[in-house]
Amino acid sequence: MIVLRQALDDYLRVRRALGYTLARSEKLLAQFLTFVEHRNEDHVTTDAAVAWASLPARSHRSWMSTRLSVVRRFAIHLHGIDPVNQAPPRDLLPGGNRRATPYLYSEADISALITAAGTLRATHRVATYRTLIGLLAVTGIRVGEAISLDRADLDATHGLLTIRHGKFGKSRELPLHPSTVAALGNYLDRKDRPQKPPNAPALLVSTTGTGLLYTNVQSTFHQLVCRAGLQPRSAMCRPRLHDLRHGFAVNTILDGYRNGGDPKDRIALLSTYLGHIDPGKTYWYLSAAPELMTLASERLERHLGGGA
C-alpha cells in the first residue's frame, strides 16, 4: 500500500504542475486508498472503485458518478505504470448532466437585486453588496476572485484591476470602464467604511472590517434573490451568484453582433478576460443564451442568402 500512497503523491504533483488544484480529488482519493487498504488489496480494481464510489448507501447517483470519475482518472494514471491496476469503464455509474442551466439576468433583474440590497442592515453592508453585485455584472470575475481583492489590486489611475488569486493560481489584469473605477473609488472612500484590522487590506469588507466570507456572501445573495422577487425558470435554472459571470460573457458577444463586427474575434479576448485556460469553457458560457443563438442564426441566414 506504500506504493499506492506514493503513486497518489506523484499523480497529484504532476497534475498540479499543469495548473489543477485538486483539493477535493486529494481528499477523495485518500479516502479511496484507505478503503482499498481495508480490503487488503495492493492495487486498484474496478470492483473496489465501484464499491467505494457507491458509498454511502442511498447516495445520489450524480455523487456516485463524481466519486468514480475521480478514481478513474487516478486509475488510468496507475494503469500506465502497472497494468495490474484497472481503470473503471466510463459507462459505469452514469450521473447524467449535472450542470445547472445559467440564469441570465436582465438589466431589470440586476437593478432589482441592487435595490433589494438596500434592505440589508448597516449602510456600509448595503454599499458592499451593491458594489459586489455591480462588479460581478460588469467584469464577469468569479465570486472568489472578487472577495479576494485587495485595495492595492485597483489601479484607479490606469483603470486596471489585478486578479491575483484566480483559478489554477493564474493572475491577470482587467481594464475597467471609467464608471466602474469611479464606483469602486466611491466605495473605498465611504466615511462609514469600518476601520481595517491589521493585515486585512481587502477591497470589499464586512461591517467589522474583515474580508468577506464566501458562505456569508452566498447566504446573503439568496436573501436578496427572494427580496427581489426573482423566481426559478426551471428546476435546473435558478438565480445563482455565479450566473452574473455567464451574463457578462453573453453580453460581450451580443455587443459584437449588434455592432456588426465578427463575434468570433472576441472569443479569445473574452476567454483571457474571464481567466479560462480552455476556450471551450467560454463557449459553454455562451451556449444557453436564446438571444445570442437568434442573432447567430440571423447572421447565418444573411450569409447564406447573400451567397445564393
pLDDT of residue 61: 84
Rounded Cα distance, 212 and 222, in Å: 16
List, in sequence order, every beta strand (DSSP E) within the chain: 154-155, 160-163, 172-175
Number of domains in the chain: 1
pLDDT of residue 262: 66
Read off the pLDDT of residues 213-244 as tens digits, 9 standing for 90 and up. 999 999 999 999 999 999 998 877 899 999 99
**Nearest residue to 208 (alpha-carbon basis) of 19, 216, 223:** 216
Please indicate, yes or no, if residue 222 is contained in any of the structural domains.
no
Read off the pLDDT of residues 61-85 as tens digits, 9 standing for 90 and up. 888 999 999 999 999 999 999 999 9
Read off the pLDDT of residues 113-128 as tens digits, 9 standing for 90 and up. 999 999 999 999 999 9
Neighbours of 298 (CB within 10 A): 11
| Cell of residue 44, nine digits | 486498484
Per-residue pLDDT band at 93 (split at 50, 70, 90): confident
Please indicate, yes or no, if residue 67 is contained in any of the structural domains.
yes
Return the percentage of the chain with pLDDT > 90, whole number.
Answer: 60
Please indicate, yes or no, if residue 19 is contained in any of the structural domains.
yes
Please indicate, yes or no, if residue 243 is contained in any of the structural domains.
no
| Cell of residue 303, nine digits | 450569409
pLDDT of residue 246: 87
Rounded Cα distance, 173 and 129, in Å: 23
Which residue do the cell numbers 497534475 mark? 15
Please indicate, yes or no, if residue 30 is contained in any of the structural domains.
yes
Read off the pLDDT of residues 241-278 as tens digits, 9 standing for 90 and up. 999 998 898 888 877 777 766 666 677 788 888 887 66
Please spell the DSSP secondary structure of 60-81, one letter per residue: -HHHHHHHHHHHHHHHHHHHHH
Q: Considering the chain, what is the average pLDDT of its residues?
A: 86
pLDDT higher than threshold 70 for residue 147: yes
26 or 280, higher pLDDT = 26
pLDDT higher than threshold 80 for residue 5: yes
pLDDT of residue 32: 96
CA distances, 124 to each of 45, 187, 205 (Å): 56, 9, 9
Please spell the DSSP secondary structure of 95-157, one letter per residue: ----PPPP----HHHHHHHHHHHTTSSSHHHHHHHHHHHHHHHHH---HHHHHT-BGGGEETT
Q: What is the mean pLDDT of residues 282-290?
A: 64
Element holding 248 (H helix, E strand)? helix 243-258
Return the percentage of the chain with pLDDT > 70, whole number.
Answer: 81
Please indicate, yes or no, if residue 199 is contained in any of the structural domains.
no
pLDDT higher than threshold 90 for residue 289: no
Instruction: Give the domain range for residue 11.
Output: 2-81
Please indicate, yes or no, if residue 49 is contained in any of the structural domains.
yes
pLDDT of residue 293: 57
| Residues contacting 139, CB < 8 A, separation 6+ | 161, 174, 176, 180, 248
DSSP label of 260: T
Please indicate, yes or no, if residue 54 is contained in any of the structural domains.
yes
pLDDT of residue 22: 86
pLDDT of residue 308: 39
pLDDT higher than threshold 60 for residue 108: yes
Instruction: List beta partners, residue 205.
Output: 211
pLDDT of residue 56: 86
pLDDT of residue 307: 47
Single-letter amino acid, residue 301: E
Catalytic positions, written as ranges: 142, 167, 242, 245, 276, 285
